[in-house]
Structure 1
C-alpha cells in the first residue's frame, strides 16, 4: 500500500499504514472533503509540526498524501508566507527522484500540502531493518539522492534538511527525496518565535551553525553524513548531546568509515571526507559534481567490496507499531553550550574528583567552600547562558532592514550599522533603476544571525547593447549577429540593389554602434539582387522620345544613325536590343535612328561627252535621262536638270541635254 516518508522537517514521522498509525475517530479531519477535492481517508503520522493523512483526490481519482501544518503555526504570518513560497518553489522541481508537490491551500486555518503518495518505506526504516547497507547499496542511494538534489539546485531550491527520514525507497525506480523547502520555513518561524536554531543536528553542516548561510554544498554535506551512516550503521558522534554534536560538526572532521570498518577502502574514505568536508569550498561545487564523484568510486570498486556490509545489529520495530527514530536523527533546537561540570569546579576549589577533600575542614570552612562553589557555578552558568544568548539565542539575531527597491548605498549603510557583513552582486534590470537593490538573500525584514552574510543583488540598470554593423552580411548571418548581441531582427524589407548581391543586407534602420536596450528589434532591408528590366518597343518613336523612355527605366540609350529612304529623319528605324529583352539597370539598349534619304550634289557636266557624264552621275547614285537637241550628233552635254550644284536625294533621275 502506498506510504510516504518521514516528516522530521515538520517535527514528526511518516508512518506506513501497515505500521498501525492511529486513525481514531477523535481526529476531526478524518472524512473531511478539503478544498472540494481531497477526501481525507486516514491519518498516516503525526509529528511536531504537521500531521500526514492519506487522502483521495476526487477530481483526478487518485490517492495522495495530505500534509496539514499544526494550528499553532498558523499564528505566525512569517511562517505562512514562507510556507507558501517554499511550497511553490518545491513544486517547480520535476524529477523522478523527487516527490511531487501537487497543490497547497488552507483547511480550518491550517496550511496544507498535497503530495504524491509513494509506495515504499523511508531510508530510516530500511536502515533500522538492515543495520547497515552494502557498499554498493549505500553508494547507489547516495548517487540517486544527489541526482534528485541536482534537479532541485538547478531551479534554485536548497533542501536544507537532507536525512534518511526525507528519503523514500519505492518498490521500483530510484529513491525519492521529499519535503523540499519546508526546513527553511520551519527554521524561520522557530528563530523568529523562540530564538533557537531548528535543524536536524546530526546532518547539519557547520556553516549553518556558524553563519546560517546555505547553498547547494549544504545539501552535499548532509549526503556525506548519510553515506557514512549507511556504511557503518550510525551517525558520527552518536550519543553526544545536540550541542556537543553541533560543536563537533564545526570543529572536528567527520570520522572516516574505515576507522570502524578497516576493510572499507580508502576511495570510500576520501569520498566521505570530500562530501562532508567542514569547509564548503573543499566539497564538490554542486550536486552534479558530487554525483559524478560517487559514480566514479562505485565503478572503481571490485565486486567483493561492493557486496560487503558492516556487521551491525538490526533495529527491528515491533510488529504492528510505528518504528521510532533514534534521537540523534530528530529535528531539535540547539540547546545552550554545556557549562563547566561541577566535578571540574569542585576540583578547582580543592575538592578531589572523587568527592574527598585534600585536608580535613571545619563545618564553617565547608560552608564557605560550598558558598564559593555556588558563586562559581552561578557565574559560570551566567557566562554560559550569556554566550548562548549572544551566539545562538535570540540575542544573536537581528531583523534585516528593507532591501528591495531601496538604493544600494542606503541598504549598505543600514547593514553596516547593524554590524552585518554583506556581498554585492550586480545584475541588469529592465524595471529597477541603476544603483537600486533588486533583491537580497535573506529577504528584507527577515531575522538573520548577526554573523550571517547578506547577499545583495543591485541593479546595473537596463542592459544596453551596441548594434552591430550588418550591411553586406547574409540574412541568416545578420540574424545570428543580432541574437549574439542580445538584440533581435525586426521588420524585414526586400528591395532591388545594383551593388549588393541578392540575400545580403542593404541597410539597417538603427545605425551600427548605436547603444540600445537589450532585446531591441532592428529593422533590416535585404537585397533582392539586380532589378530585371524589360526593353520597350522603340519602333516609330522619335530619337529623343526613345532616349527618354530608355533612361526612365534606368537603362542606357545607345543610338546609331542610318539613312533611310522610307523612314523620316529622326525616327527610330530599328533596335538591336529587341523589345521584351530582360536587362538590368545601366545596361545599354542599341537602336538606329533615321537620317532620312542620303543627298548628293548634281555635278557640272557641261561640255562632257554623254558617256562620261552618265558615269559621273551613276557613281553618285543618280539615274540619267538623255534629251537630244538637233539630233545630238556631237554627244556633248549642254545642261542638266536639276542644274549643276543642286542637292538631290540619292537615286534621283537627272536629265542630261546633249547637242
Structure 2
C-alpha cells in the first residue's frame, strides 16, 4: 500500500479489512486531521459497473449528515487504487465490543439500538436502504456514541461478490427473510437486521448458526427465533416485545419505519408500558408444516360434515357429494404437493447444482477473511504452513494452492501458507539519540521508522524525546517504531509596549515578559521630567520573551553655582545587599529624599552583593544619604567631605 494517496492522505496504519475493502488510519495533510480511508480490494478494480455504483453510492451517502452516521469526506482514485475518505472514530466496532463483554446490559443495548435507529431514520428519509446492518458496521466511540458505517456500499455490490446466496447481498447471520429469498428489499429489511443485532447484544450471540451460509439463510426463512433459550429472563417484557416485532418474517408485521421504533424505545426509557401482549401470537411466524396441518384439519372437518348429511339426502344427491369430496381431496393434495416441492427446492437445490468459481488472489489477505469468503461458497480451508515472514503481516496469507485464477468448486479444499509475522527482536533504546543515528540502529535491528511527531523540548532540536514501543520490549521483525522528536525550546514572541511618555515605574509594570536594559538620562525642557524619551525596541513589534529594552529618561540638569572659595571633594559610599536576592532595583537619594543620585537594577547573582556609589560635596560639608531596595527603605548613612 502506498504511503501517500494523491499527495494528500498520509497512510499511518492498517486498522481493518473486510470482504470488499481494506481500512487504514490516515492523516489529511491539507486539513491536518486524522481520517479513515477505505480502499477497494484489487479484485473489484476491473469491474466498471461495480466501480461506478461504488462511487455513486458513496457520494449519495456523503449527504447523510447525522451524528450517528460516519461522515464521508472524499471519494477518489490514485492510479488503480479506489478509495473513500471517512470520519475516523476512535473506539471499536460493536462486534468486538460483544466479543469482549459478552451479552450487554439491556439499558446500554437499548441506548445503542436507539442511536442506530436514528441513523436509519435519517437514511430512509433520504431514500437509502443500508442492506448490511450488522455489528461490524456499527462503531462505538470512547464516549459511547454509536455511528453507522458503510452506507450505500452494500447496495453497490454485484453478483461478482463471493458471499452470495443466489444474488442475495449482505451478511448471512443478519439477513432478512426477503434478502435470503432474493426478494424485494425495503427499509423494513434494515429493521429486521437491526432486530438480529439487538438479539446479539442481549444474548451475546446470533440466533441462527449453520454449516454453510445457505443453511443459515434458510433458517431465517423457515425457522422461528427461540427467544426463551438465549435471552436472559430479567429482560423487561416490553424489550422482548420490541424484539419480536422487529424480527417478524413478513415485512408487513414489522415496524414500518424507524420512527415507530424510536417512539417505542422512548416509551420504554420513560417507563411507559407498551401494549405487546395481545400481539405476541400474531407476531409468531408459523412453519409450513403447521400451516398444512391446519389446512388438512379444516378440510377434514368439512368432509365429515358432508358425510353426516348423506343419510338425509336422496341417492341422486350422493353422486354430487362424492364428486365434491373428490374435488376437495384434489385441492388438498395439490396444496400439499406445492408446499412440499417449494420446501424441498429450497433445501436441496445445492445438492444437484455444482457451481464453479474463480479462485481469488488471497496473498496478503487475512486468513479469517479468506476462510469466510471461501466457506460461504462451500469451499474448505486448510493451513499448510505457518512461517515467519516480515514482509507479510501476522495471520495474513503468504501463498495459496490452487493459484489465483484457477477454477474451484463446492466441497474442494484449498491450502494456505500463513505468516507468523516477523521473527521476534528486541527494541533498542533510542531516546536522546538523533533521528539519523536512530535510523541506522533500526536497520541493524531489522526494524523501521514508524510515525514521527514533533514537540517543543529542552533537548536539542532533532533529538528523540520518547519512543513507542518502549526500549527492551520484544516485537516482530519489521515493526515500525514511533518517535516524538524535539523541535528545540519553544520561542515565545511578545508584543513590545509603547513606553514613550511614561515613567520608569510605568515601564516596570508594563514590561512583564520583557526586561529593562540600560537606562540613560537626557534633558528635554519641552517634556515632563522623569518621563521616557526613547526606547531601543519600537512599540508594537514582536520580540522574543525576556528581551531587554534600553531606555532614555528625561532629567533636568541643575545649574550649579561654583563657589571658588570651596573645594569639591569626591568620595564613595559602600553597602551590602542580601546574598539571597536575585535581581533588585537600588536607589540612593541625597538629603531628605529630594534627589536620586543612583538608580540601577542589579543582578546580585552576577554582580555580587556589594554596591559602591560615588558621591561628592564641598570641603567641610556633611551629607545624609537614604538607600532604597525595590522601593522599600533599606538603610541610611552619613558622609563627611574632608
TM-score, scaled to structure 2 = 0.42
> By percentage of residues, which structure has more strand?
2
Higher relative contact order by CA 8 Å / sep ≥ 6: 1 or 2? 1
Of the two, which has the highest radius of gyration?
1
